[in-house]
């Protein structure tokens, strides 16, 4: 428990330039996981399929083992619950991800949104808000959504 809280505080500290690449990578993974969790938390009902989609996205994006993805998702949920805005997370992502990596992340987020078979207005709003903070072009945003919908069998 104390180690998880320490990890959380360490991840939210500004990253030292060039000196601690491991901490920077951890903070980037946490920021990405928080975005995925925000989509999972967006609608009023919780579905286990959304949590599975978050874990799959984390394993896919960062090539994590099951237990690593689970720990990162738990830390992201605690972090998201305490966060007051998304800017600190999207700023870190903007610093480190190029546009193709951000588009892949948006597609994975759409897969989380579609995982329960229902797309709520709040989920759409959260997705739009995050995409805007990540400077995703409108056309690319819609293409990522279409790819995720097709992968979910909704397209």
| For residues 70-95, average pLDDT | 94
pLDDT tens by residue, 95-126:
999 999 999 999 999 999 999 988 899 999 99
Q: Is the pLDDT of residue 49 over 70?
A: yes
CATH number at residue 63: 1.10.3680.10
DSSP strand E in the chain: where?
A: none
What's the whole-model pTM score?
0.83
- What is the Cα–Cα distance from 30 to 89, expressed in whole angstroms? 8
The reported pLDDT for the residue numbered 13 is 53
Which strand (E) or helix (H) includes residue 115? Answer: none
The reported pLDDT for the residue numbered 54 is 95
Domain span at residue 99? Answer: 2-151
The reported pLDDT for the residue numbered 18 is 52
Residue 103's nearest CA partner among 153, 138, 62 is 138
- Higher pLDDT among residues 15 and 142, named by residue: 142
Q: Is the pLDDT of residue 59 over 90?
A: yes
The reported pLDDT for the residue numbered 98 is 96
Q: How many CA atoms lie within 13 A of 43 on its CB side?
A: 19
The reported pLDDT for the residue numbered 58 is 96
Count the domains in the chain: 1
| For residues 63-68, average pLDDT | 94
pLDDT band at 43 (very low <50, low <70, confident <90, very high): confident
Q: Is the pLDDT of residue 11 over 70?
A: no
User: What is the residue-wise DSSP string for 8-58?
Assistant: HHHHHSPPPTTT-HHHHHHHHHHHHHHHHHHHHHHSSS--HHHHHHHHHHH
């Amino acid at each position: 428990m104390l180690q998880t809280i320490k990890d959380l505080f360490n991840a939210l500290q500004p990253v030292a330039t060039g000196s601690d690449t491991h901490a920077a990578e951890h903070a980037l993974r946490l920021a990405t996981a928080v975005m995925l969790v925000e989509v999972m938390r967006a609608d009023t009902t919780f579905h286990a399929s959304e949590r599975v989609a978050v874990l799959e996205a984390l394993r896919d994006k960062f090539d994590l083992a099951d237990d690593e993805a689970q720990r990162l998702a738990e830390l992201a949920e605690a972090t998201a619950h305490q966060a007051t805005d998304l800017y600190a997370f999207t700023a870190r992502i903007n610093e480190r991800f190029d546009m193709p990596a951000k588009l892949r992340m948006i597609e994975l987020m759409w897969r989380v949104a579609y995982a329960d078979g229902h797309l709520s207005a709040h989920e759409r709003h959260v997705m739009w808000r995050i995409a805007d903070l990540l400077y995703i072009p409108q056309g690319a945003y819609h293409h990522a959504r279409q790819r995720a919908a097709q992968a979910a069998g909704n397209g």
